Amino acid sequence: MLFNNFGQTHQKGKDLVSRIQIVVNNIQVLLEQIAGTNAEGNNLPLGDAAKELAEAQQMMTEMRNRNFSQLQADAVKERKEAQLLLERVKNELQKYHQENHGLIKIVRDSLNEFESKLTDLREALNEATAQTKQAENLNSENGVLLEDIKKRIEETNEQQNSVLNILSSARSSLTQANSMLGLLQKSKEEYETLAAQLDGARKDMNGKLTNSSLSASKEPLVVRAEEHAKSLQDLAKQLEEIKNNARKDELVSCAVEASTAYDNIINAIKAAEEAANKAGTAADSALSTVKREDLSGKAAKLKAESSTLLNQARETEGKLKAIGPTLEDMTQRLGVADGKKNTLQIDLIALQNDLNGINRDDIGDIITSAKDMVKNAKDVTTNVLSELLPIKTDVEKIKTTYGSTQSADFSKALTEANNSVKKLTNQLPDLFSKIESINQQLMPISNISENVNRIRELIQQARDAANKVAIPMRFNGSSGVEVRPPSNLEDLKAYTSLSFFLQRPQKRSDMPQRASDRFVLYLGNKDASKDYIGMAVKNGHLTCVYNLGDYEAEIAVQPLVIESNTEEAIMDQVKLQRIYQYVKLNYVKAATSASSKNEGPVTMSSEGIDTLLDLDPSSVVFYVGGYPPDFRPPRSLDYPHYEGCIELDNLNENIISLYNFKRTFNLNTTEVQPCRRYKEESDQNYFEGTGYASVTYKEANANVRIRYEQTIQTTADEGIIFFAANEDQFISVLIKDGHPVFRYKIGSEPPKQIEHNSTLNDGTYKQIHIFVARSSNVVRVNNNITANIKVFSFTKYYLGGIPSSLRKQFNITTPPFRGCMKNVKNSKTASVVFDETVGVSKKCSDDWKLIRSASFSKKGTLSLSAEGFPFPQDFQVGFGFRTMASTGTLLNYNLRPDILTIFLSPGFVFAKMGEKELSLNKTYEDGLMHYVTVRRRDNRVSLLVDDKPTSILVDSSRSQITMQPIIFGGGDFEGCISNIFIERTGQYPEVQNLTDHTEKSGVSLGPCHQHENLEPMLLKEFKNPLRFKMLKNEKYVDHLTDYNVQRDQQNHTLSTWLNANSEAYLLGNTPNSFISYTFSPPSPTDRLHFSVDIRTRSSRGLIIFMEETSENSYISLHISKGHFVFSLSSGGKQFKLKTSTKYNDGQWHNVVFSRDGKNVLLVVDGLAAQHGRLARNSPVSIKPPIYLGGLPSLKRQSIPVKSFKGCLRNFKMNGKIMNAPQQKNGVLPCLDIPMEKGIYFFKEGGYIAIDNLRMGLDFRIVFTIRPRSSTGVLLHSGNKPDNYLTVYMEEGKIIAAGNSGAGEFQTTVTSRQSLYNGQWHTIAVSQKGNAVQLDVGTQSNYTTGHPPFSPRRLHQPLYFGKIPANLDTPWLPVKDSFFGCLRNININNKPVSTRRISEVHGGVSLHGCPAT
């Protein structure tokens, strides 16, 4: 209330002052009037003045008479009250101020206390982190120790088992030796018995001879001699048995085996050493050896065999030492037996002499007969001796080989063998460890192709991790680094962007003065006379030198390179940008400090003709800080090595680091510590558009609603944001044409997708939320897209892209995401940590919004502003392009009457300015990147294509004010355009950012989508016969594995909105579908090779067939039970190679089959190779044509006759692509997009015929269509005006018309929604009585025939898609073919399958429709 009174009083005072002011003004006016003038200076009449004066006097009197004392008292009173109020307010405010001051002090103390506690907490957390890391390190070390202990325990167990095996073997050897000893003892006793028998026989014979000489009758003597000869023969037989028993004896067998043991051991050791050498070589190319020779298995087997040989050798040595005395005793006994044999022989000769000495007349005939008998006995004895001779030889051999005199040599040989085996055994563990480490990585992968892909990914991940090491490297004036150059050197040709940091150490007074000129870096060819970009410090200033072809340019910045302490280094930032011959150098002083200063760019232009940086991949080098002794830098860079710190930042928007080096020179980071500098932490992740990031997420409860969240920022038209998969199912969130798309594949259904028209690629932050509710089978994306699907469980998901294996498995063509991503969250954690990253860095680069390339479809155009473009005066415009099209517009600038056009026709590049035209005599529709520059200087216009120039003179032109856009693309051009440069007046030369377009249509901004036939390395080698023969060299696979890794992620097929691949053909739609190619028959040769890309799900069918000029000779490729089979037949003899893996998986596979002399090769996807060798080498002469698919007529029992069902493209013969088929039959374009069930009618037109329709009777025909055009025939039956039925589309309306004999009828249904909106529409036409009804979805219409209705019952075919040409139907208004999909045909409530289709003509595919 007090405040209200004060306010009223104050207001009254204001009113009083206002009134007083008015009165004073009036008085002033009156005074002026009294003086005779008004405000305008005009004189007033005297009468008016007197009157006015009187009135004024009256007013003054009245004012004097008024009493203001009461008002004054009130005012004084109110002033006192106001003062009291003011004092009260001041007191209250003072009180509150004191209270607030106390509270502030309390709050300040609390904040200080909390800050102290936070500091303590931070220190505790840091200490806990350090302890955690220490614990982790201890755990890691303990884990390593535990693994080492386990390994040693295993080795000890193995050694124990080995010792036990040796002991067991020794026991068995002793047992065998004892048994052999027993056998030898037994043999000894048998020999003694035989010797006794020989002595007894000798005594008997001597007695008998004596008796014979005294006897008168000689016949008993002869008989006894004969009997004695027989006994000698028996004795010989017994000796033979003894000999055989001796040979069969185990001890003797061991001795015989031991006779060759030394050679076997030596040979085995030599083989083992050769295997070890091969194994050492194979360790360098372990992948090749593991695949081809199963090295790990062979090495293990070799080790086991070597150990076995060593044990056997030791056992043999022990046995020989054990049986040495026994052998000597046996030798002595055999010597005794040999002596007795000689004695017996002498006795026999003496007996013969005695017999010869007998000479009596009466027994002459008997003696003659006795002589014959003795001769026979002698022969028998000779035979016995001959039988005994091998025994003597064997005994002497044993004595000679294993006698005591040879035991030392044998022991020496065993010692050498033992040493060699030990040496081999010592070499094998290193080999085993190498193989085992590789096997551990490759074990989960089933075949060599996947192994190499996995190795490529691992190599890329390792290099990517090295590029993320953002630490300055310190150079001491003698060191240097060779950095791994970028794999895509083509991208550096027209545009080069390099950013890096550098500093120099502070000068010290006690140190000698350092040289001010230093080498910094060099990127170019190792031959410095060719193209390069280099930098150096000259007189303390950074200088850039570059050479494009034949001219060297130099540009320097004004500020000196900063000098700072290496412990807390402050570094300058250098950013070089080159576009064609122009270079812009931007220098930021003290960029890593808070007081950075941008010095502004300096520019330079090379005055030479060339505009491209041409780097040879085989000789490109990237030296930083220094260079090796074998490199001679150009004169402008020939300075001492750098002293100071350098840190690479990025190269062409890709992160790069000095630690991704190929080699170093005199660099020791332990002696020379790297610089330390301040780095600003970033919560963003930059996706380069080449890789992905993976996140592991384990769901605790499948019924809990899960949320995945990330914030993105991009300018690209396409990219993968989120992807999760399990077996053959996946869900994904993509960017397509700048809009969000949810694409998924659940169960056995084909992939489906849902789009929304919101924009994601405007360069601002966009949140992406993905909600998965499995309990209600709902997935929502940003509340804009909802899908009612049952989502599978998964434990890992990917952001920004996917690995190549998943891309191949699911046929994903969307490129990786390029842009920034932050705030990555899921239901489990608010800050997700990536498990694995490829092409992802922690900081978004300054140029991430720059888009330099775009993919064009046919008729696609991109319009750019022509602001500052000086055409038709001196100008320059340049760009790169890549296409397989032979015609099309590249650039068009219509500034009538001056028009600039650059176009292809046919394959040649033309530049047209007004009526003048330039071109080069070379075609450029080869799918490679080519660079075009058109520039005018004075009156000369030049055209450069890949730095190959041509020029003409033109007339002078005047500048025009009219502004028209510069249009790229158009016509039949289809491909990629990148690195556009438009010279603009008053602007620095720089590459065109395509996001600044004014209009685009049919163009996708971002990395170029390239349908590239990655010709396998093996196929390239086939072009060189000498290299083809080196396929067995294991280094060859190393050459394969070093192939460009990044292309796996950057090169993809054309976008799905391209309906068909113009180079691919679909075969097998009909059994006799085929393509034939003709060619000029080559001269007979022993070398042929072919390649083709194939995609099929068929298990059987013919792919390629060609005949040779000789009879019953051919070459073919077919598929059998999913395997590719390469067959050759010559003169009735057949040879086949068959792949071990099935390839009917619906994916593209490159197949190469070749013959080189006797060598035959079948290669799939460049890796899975099958080799074979023919029995003889004979020249091959094939004759045209070559058939792809089926054959018009073929009777071969060993290969299929019908065509395979699938797609085929890029057929090459001897490296030359076969472009123009001679003949095509039943061949359709191949749709390179996901398919679903249905019948597809191509734009070329075609029809199918099914069943006979009985016209005149009641019928109902139902089918579903998804048209791609608004006009066309759907079905037709009948060929007469009084008997037909037709259902067709005309400008979006469905019309049923016909005549069943009772007169014409027609009914029309106009659909409320467009029929070609990409959705399925059900059409039904039925007749009952004389009423015909047409249904289109939920809409219908009908008509009735003219009475009287007397139908005729006729049987006639029912055609879908087109009216056959042989049916004359001039009365029908529409004859266009149906273009689109057809399915679910139902006639009279009975479904019609494709097996009931009787005819297929033209462009019709029965094997599926495009899914979208």
Average pLDDT of span 1289-1313: 83
Check residue 1069 and give its pLDDT. Answer: 74
Q: Each residue of 296-340: pLDDT tens digit?
A: 555 555 555 555 655 665 665 565 555 555 555 555 655 655 565
Check residue 444 and give its pLDDT. Answer: 40
Beta strands of 1165-1267 (E only): which ranges?
A: 1168-1173, 1182-1189, 1206-1213, 1216-1217, 1223-1225, 1228-1230, 1235-1236, 1239-1255, 1259-1267
**Angle subtended at Cα 261 by Cα 256 and Cα 262, rounded to the nearest 5 degrees:** 125
Q: Each residue of 1028-1062: pLDDT tens digit?
A: 333 333 333 333 333 333 334 333 333 333 334 44
Q: Which of 979-983, 1046-1050, 1124-1128, 1394-1398 has the lowest mean pLDDT?
A: 1046-1050
Please give the residue that has the higher pLDDT: either 76 or 31: 76
Counting residues of the chain whose pLDDT is more than 70, the rounded percentage is 70
Which of the residue ranges 42-51, 1138-1147, 1361-1370, 1399-1408 has the most confident prediction, judged by mean pLDDT? Answer: 1138-1147
The pair of structure tokens assigned to 210 is 């004596």
CA 915 to chain centre: 48
Q: Each residue of 719-734: pLDDT tens digit?
A: 999 999 988 899 999 9
- Residue 1389, pLDDT > 60, answer yes
User: 1265: number of CA atoms within 13 Å, CB side?
Assistant: 29
Check residue 976 and give its pLDDT. Answer: 93
Q: How confident is the model at residue 204 (pLDDT cuts 50, 70, 90)?
A: low
Q: Mean pLDDT over all residues of the chain?
A: 76
The pair of structure tokens assigned to 918 is 């330039």
Average pLDDT of span 383-404: 51
Please give the residue that has the higher pLDDT: either 199 or 402: 199
Q: How confident is the model at residue 712 (pLDDT cuts 50, 70, 90)?
A: very high
Average pLDDT of span 576-593: 91
Average pLDDT of span 618-642: 92
Check residue 1323 and give its pLDDT. Answer: 92
Q: Decide: 1025 and 1215 in contact? Cβ < 8 Å.
A: no
Q: Which residues pair with 1170 in a beta bridge?
A: 1162
Mind giving me the DSSP string for 388-457? HHHHHHHHHHHHHHHSGGGHHHHHHHHHHHHHHHHHHHHHHHHHHHHHHHHHHHHTT--SHHHHHHHHHH
Check residue 574 and give its pLDDT. Answer: 93
As a whole number of angstroms, the distance between CA 1270 and CA 292 comes to 58
Which of the residue ranges 10-24, 441-455, 845-859, 926-940 has the most confident prediction, judged by mean pLDDT? Answer: 926-940
Residues with Cβ within 8 Å of residue 594, at least 6 apart in sequence: none
Looking at this protein, which amino acid is placed at residue 186?
Answer: K
As a whole number of angstroms, the distance between CA 1052 and CA 813 comes to 6
Residues with Cβ within 8 Å of residue 244, at least 6 apart in sequence: none
- Residue 863, pLDDT > 80, answer yes
Please tell me whether residue 73 adopts helix, strand or coil conformation.
helix
Q: How confident is the model at residue 1324 (pLDDT cuts 50, 70, 90)?
A: very high
Q: Each residue of 131-186: pLDDT tens digit?
A: 888 888 888 888 888 888 888 888 888 888 877 888 777 777 777 767 777 776 77
- Residue 660, pLDDT > 50, answer yes
Name the strand (E) or helix (H) holding 141.
Answer: helix 69-214
Average pLDDT of span 556-566: 88
Residue 1299 backbone dihedrals phi, psi, to 5 degrees: -155, 120
CA 1403 to chain centre: 35
Q: Which of 194-203, 1112-1121, 1239-1248 has the lowest mean pLDDT?
A: 194-203
Q: Each residue of 369-386: pLDDT tens digit?
A: 555 655 655 565 555 555
Q: Each residue of 875-911: pLDDT tens digit?
A: 999 999 998 888 899 999 987 778 899 999 888 999 9
The pair of structure tokens assigned to 675 is 């610089």
Residues with Cβ within 8 Å of residue 1177, at least 6 apart in sequence: 1086, 1157, 1158
Q: Which of 177-181, 357-361, 416-420 has the lowest mean pLDDT?
A: 357-361
As a whole number of angstroms, the distance between CA 1220 and CA 373 comes to 100
In the block, tokens 């502030």 appear at 104
Q: Each residue of 452-510: pLDDT tens digit?
A: 566 666 676 777 777 777 788 889 888 999 999 988 888 899 999 999 999 998 876 65
Check residue 1078 and give its pLDDT. Answer: 84
Check residue 169 and give its pLDDT. Answer: 74
Average pLDDT of span 757-762: 89
- Residue 289, pLDDT > 60, answer no
Q: Decide: 517 and 639 in contact? Cβ < 8 Å.
A: yes
Give 668-706 as a 3 state SS string.
CCCCCCCCCECCCCCCEEEEEEEEEEEEECCCCCCCCCE
Check residue 1049 and give its pLDDT. Answer: 39
Q: Decide: 1285 and 1278 in contact? Cβ < 8 Å.
A: yes
Closest CA to 648 of 463, 472, 530, 822: 472
Check residue 1061 and give its pLDDT. Answer: 44
Instruction: Provide the whole-model pTM.
Output: 0.48
As a whole number of angstroms, the distance between CA 275 and CA 269 comes to 9
Counting residues of the chain whose pLDDT is more than 90, the rounded percentage is 16
Which of the residue ranges 620-634, 1216-1230, 1233-1247 has the most confident prediction, judged by mean pLDDT? Answer: 620-634
Please give the residue that has the higher pLDDT: either 583 or 134: 583
Closest CA to 625 of 751, 759, 474: 474
Q: Check the CA dihedral 9-10-14-15 and report its sign.
A: negative
Closest CA to 719 of 770, 674, 760: 760
Beta pairing, strands 563-564 & 908-913: unpaired
User: 26: number of CA atoms within 13 Å, CB side?
Assistant: 13
Q: Which residues pair with 1343 in a beta bridge?
A: 1332
